[in-house]
Amino acid sequence: MTHAIFQKHSDLCLLKVGETRFASYVIMTTRICKVKSFLEKMVMDDEWKNYKGDKGIEAKTREIKSFIMNDEKWDNIDYFLKFTEPIVDMLRDADLNGPKLHLIYDMWDSMIEKLKKIIFEHEGEDLISGQSNFFDSIHGVLVARWNKSNTPLHCMAHSLVPKYYHQSWLQGENGIQRVAPNEDLEIASNRIKCFQRYFDSNQMKQVSLEYGKFCSMNGYFGEPHVIDAMEYEDPFSWWGNHGVSIPLLQQLAYKLLTQLVSFSCCERNWSTYSMIHNIKRNKLATSRAEDLVFVHYNLRLLSRKKEKYINGPSKYWDVGGDQFEVEDTINNLTELSIDEPQLEGVVFDEEFEDLEDVEEDAEE
């Protein structure tokens, strides 16, 4: 009955997202904010007032109405979404299918700065000298998570991004001076760990000299056009154009600057496996199931290189079939994260039909 009253006023449905879904609480709360006006109309509806239902329902309806019409509650919800936005944005960005290893360390610092600014402004504290117990609590949780997942490779990759040595980046925002990677103790110690593990004793001497030339901008790296390129050029491209004189560091940069940080590929494989090996197909041998997953996943990758994947009736077939229309501006699925907001609530029924075709091809 309550659902019927709500649907009278809203075309949007409330979401109930599984806890295993990325940022499930944030997704559900965002949807609640979108339907705020419809919820208010619902509790003011005559049918809501007259709804009795089972024993105890009347008290429950009054409680829900009191909550929905309470502006202070909605202000708290808005604040929750505001201070979690930098965290969710960073996680979504890291979840994209693209090289992100070299950006994570800076993304982390930027996220903390944005979060601190939002909380301090809300509490009326000075950004430099102020104190906030709420921020300290959140910061503690984030630091614990960072320490759990951080590796020396994050710092090593961060050290190989030319932009982080350029004056425009070091000046920072809001007058807060940033520190170059070679002047940061944590980054420097982790970089040395990577050097020691990756290079032998003879190569260590050479790579240390190469990094010294790179970070201090000596010789060729002090040329104006090389320094200018640090600001605007893609890191991978910069190393290809200017790193020939430091070959050991250049080869290391090639490897680290192309690394992903997301488990999205694994997640998609697990999802594919769960559709292939289910209750109805529980007699499949492990080797057969692995072969089907391999074929299905690689068919997806191959299909994305074809023109009909972007245009035509079967475009973006592995995203949502005919039930989901992707914006014309999005022509590359590497730009879509596994938890892209546009995909929330989409049902992937067409996927099962494609899966049957894949299994038939694999058996043939």
Percent of the chain topping pLDDT 90: 32
Q: Could you read off the pLDDT of 82-104 as tens digits, one per residue?
A: 999 999 888 888 877 678 889 99
Question: What is the per-residue pLDDT for 339?
Answer: 44
Model confidence band, residue 279 (pLDDT cutoffs 50, 70, 90): confident
Q: Could you read off the pLDDT of 176-230 as tens digits, one per residue?
A: 788 899 999 999 999 999 999 989 888 999 999 999 999 999 889 999 999 999 9
Contacts of 278 (CB under 8 A, 6+ apart): none
Q: Could you read off the pLDDT of 149-172 as tens digits, one per residue?
A: 888 999 999 999 999 999 888 887
Of the candidates 167, 163, 149, which has an alpha carbon nearest to the alpha carbon of residue 108?
149
Q: For the CA atoms of 260, 265, 270, 273, what is the dihedral angle to 10 degrees?
A: -150
User: What is the Cα–Cα distance from 16 to 34, expressed in whole angstroms?
Assistant: 15
Mean pLDDT of all residues in 33-43: 89
Q: Check pLDDT > 60 for residue 317.
A: yes
Question: What is the per-residue pLDDT for 118?
Answer: 93
| Highest-scoring range by mean pLDDT, 184-198, 268-282, 335-349 | 184-198
Of the candidates 339, 348, 220, 326, which has an alpha carbon nearest to the alpha carbon of residue 272?
348
Mean pLDDT of all residues in 64-81: 91
Model confidence band, residue 327 (pLDDT cutoffs 50, 70, 90): very low
Q: Taking the domains of the chain in order of start, what are their residue ranges? A: 2-69, 81-256, 267-363
The least confident of 1-10, 303-312, 331-340 is 331-340
Q: Check pLDDT > 50 for residue 290.
A: yes
Question: What is the per-residue pLDDT for 342?
Answer: 43
Mean pLDDT of all residues in 235-252: 92
Q: Check pLDDT > 50 for residue 1.
A: yes
- Distances in Å between the Cα of 58 and the Cα atoms of 6, 52, 53, 68, 338 are 17, 5, 7, 16, 41
Largest CA distance in the chain: 84
Terminal-to-terminal C-alpha distance of the chain: 52
The least confident of 95-109, 130-144, 146-160, 227-241 is 95-109
Helices and strands per DSSP (H, E), number in the chain: 20, 0
User: What is the Cα–Cα distance from 316 to 302, expressed in whole angstroms?
Assistant: 12
Residue appearing with tokens 């109405």: 65
Q: Check pLDDT > 60 for residue 270.
A: yes
